Amino acid sequence: MKEYQVVLYQEGALSSLLLGAANADPLKFSTFLNNHAAKGWRVVTMEKDIRRLFLFWRREAYLVVMEREKDNIKPNFV
């Protein structure tokens, strides 16, 4: 049996306010994904989204769907 987790990854608001837009840092995003992989999560799919911040600024965000084997599987005996 599998379990799923949906995570929204986005950069902080400060870079959006200072630079006008914030793109996801590849190194930070890789670290984020590797940390989840170390816990057994595997990316099933992800979608990129541009989110508005205070009407004028924007920042990149990723909706990431992950799965892993559920640890506490109880057998069904009839």
pLDDT digits (tens, 9 = 90+) for 10-48: 876 554 344 444 567 788 889 999 999 999 999 999 998
Structural domains counted in the chain: 1
Count of beta carbons in the 10 Å neighbourhood of residue 27: 8
Residue 50 to residue 75: CA distance in whole angstroms: 44
Residue 65 lies in a domain: yes
Place of tokens 């640890």: 71
Residue 58 lies in domain = 2-69
76 in any annotated domain: no
Average pLDDT of the residues in 2-12: 88
**Percentage above 90 pLDDT, the chain:** 40
The answer to whether residue 75 is domain-embedded is: no
Q: What is the CATH number of the domain that holds 22?
A: 3.30.110
Residue type present at position 4 = Y
Answer yes or no: is 47 within a domain.
yes
Is residue 28 assigned to a domain? yes
Say if 39 falls within a structural domain.
yes
What does the mean pLDDT of the chain come to? 79
- Output the pLDDT for position 49: 82
> Rounded to an integer, what is the distance from CA 48 to the centroid of its chain?
10
Structure tokens at 78: 């009839």
Confirm if 44 and 65 have CB atoms less than 8 A apart: yes
Q: pTM score, two decimals?
A: 0.70
